[in-house]
Structure formats: structure tokens, C-alpha cells
Amino acid sequence: MKTLTLGIPSKGRLMEATAELFARAGHAVERNGTDRGYRGTLQGWPGIEVAFLSASEIASQLRAGKIDLGVTGEDVLRENIAPQDSGIRIVQRLGFGPANVVVAVPCCWLDVAAMADLDEVAEQFYRNHGYRLRVATKYRNLTRRFFAEKGVSGYRIVESAGATEGAPAAGSAELIVDITTTGATLSANQLKILDDGLILESCAVLACRTAAAQGAAPLAEKLRTALSA
């Protein structure tokens, strides 16, 4: 059988939790010393080769077909893979790394509770200020899809690489779409989540290329057992 390549986060909490889960499932992740640590194996699973990659690379390399399976955040996956792309599927939610992708606006917008308010504000803002509401985010595609679904138009996205929550106070955007776990960072920045502003309840997932689904099934099963133990 053909060897499958599994992308695993190369650093951070996601890497630790992934390594811990695989060890619990009886197939510890091992780095190859010879490959400067960018390649590895799964103990007792010769059919799978491991590639250590960043979370966003895992999504794009899945799409490009350079890896067959990957562990990454659902947020990153849904941002990078179009919903109509049937070539990639999530085979198992892994539970760790929980975080919500949300729409948040300044607390001082006392008149805004929901996405429908946002649409009206977008119109009012353009009329009075001559430019569109700016949404700071690294989730360009998730934002577009969600806003379109909620019937909000007349905004524009400004790309934000980091510290998105600071954009409204800094004057570089009016609102944000960002990931949050407890909401504390948002409140500290005087931002509030809209009542219907939850875009995605994300966590780490095992995803695979549809073509590799058969090979991925036994691994997903092992992880499922380890998760429920």
C-alpha cells in the first residue's frame, strides 16, 4: 500500500496536544534526526510518514495534494478550503484547541446587537463618512461567506496579520473578525461579540484528502478510541 503523508503542527500548543493524543493512541510521533526534524514517523504505523508544518501550511498542502492527511485548526482549514471543494474532508474532530471565530464591534456602538444592525450601520457609515466599514481579520474567506449569508454588504476587509483586536482602537478598522477562547482579550479591548456573530466553533481536526479517505479511516478510528478513553 502507498505510504500516506500526515501533516502535523510543528510547534506550539497544537503540536503538544497532537503529540499527546497520538501517544495515547499508541502511535507516538517521532522526529527523524536526519531531516533536521521536519520529517518523522508514527511509532508502529509504517504506512504513514509525518511532515511537520505550520497550521496554515497544512491546509494549503492538503489542498495542493502534497500531503494526504493533516491535523490543523478547523478555522484554518475552512478559511483555506472552499466549502464546495469535495477533495478534502474532516474525518475526526479532536476536541483540543477550542476557539470561536466571531464578529466583534466596539462596545461604544450601543445601537448594534446583531448582524442585521451591522448592515444598517454599514449603510449609515458610508453615507456619513464616504468610506466603507473596514473589517480587520486574517479570515478573509470565512468573513465573506458569513457576511454574505447574513445579508451584510457594504464593508471591506483589511488584512490583519496580528493583534487584530487592537485595530478599532488604533483606527485601522471599525470592527474585527477574530478567534477567541474566553473573550477576555476582546473585552480588554472594549469590543463585544454580536448576538448572532458566532461564525465557527473551531477545534483541532484530522482532515484528509478524499482520495486518501480509505487509508485515513483506521487512523481516525484509533484516535476516536483514544479520545473516548
Partner 1 sequence: MPGRSSQEREALARQNAAIMAVFERAGFDHIAPDIIQPADIFLERSGEDIRARTFVFNDPDGNELCLRPDLTVPACRYHLSHAGDPARETRYCYLGPAFRFPDELLSPQEFHQAGVEWFGGTDPVGAEARVIKLTISALEAAGLSRLQVMLGDLGLFNALLADMPMPDRWRRRLRHQFWRPAAFRALLEHFAKPAQAKRTSISENVDAVAGNDAMAATAARLAQLAIPRVTDRSIGEIAERLVEKQADRSEQPLPAAMIETIEAYLAMEGVLADIPAKLAGLSGTEKFAGARAWFERRIAALEDQGLNPRRMQFNANFGRDLEYYTGLVFQVEVEARNAPLVVAGGGRYDDLLRDLGAPSRIPAVGCAIHAERVKAVLP
Binding site for partner 1 (CB under 8 A): 80-82, 84-85, 106-114, 116-117, 119-126, 128-129, 131-132, 135, 141, 143-145, 147-148, 150-151, 153-157, 168-169, 171, 174, 190, 192, 195
CB of 223 to partner 1, least distance (A): 28
CB of 178 to partner 1, least distance (A): 16
Question: Quick one: 48 or 136, whose CB is closer to partner 1?
Answer: 136
CB of 199 to partner 1, least distance (A): 15
CB of 76 to partner 1, least distance (A): 13
Instruction: Please give the C-alpha separations between residue 138 and each of 11, 77, 95, 209, in angstroms, as whole numbers.
Output: 20, 13, 23, 24
Question: Quick one: 39 or 63, whose CB is closer to partner 1?
Answer: 63
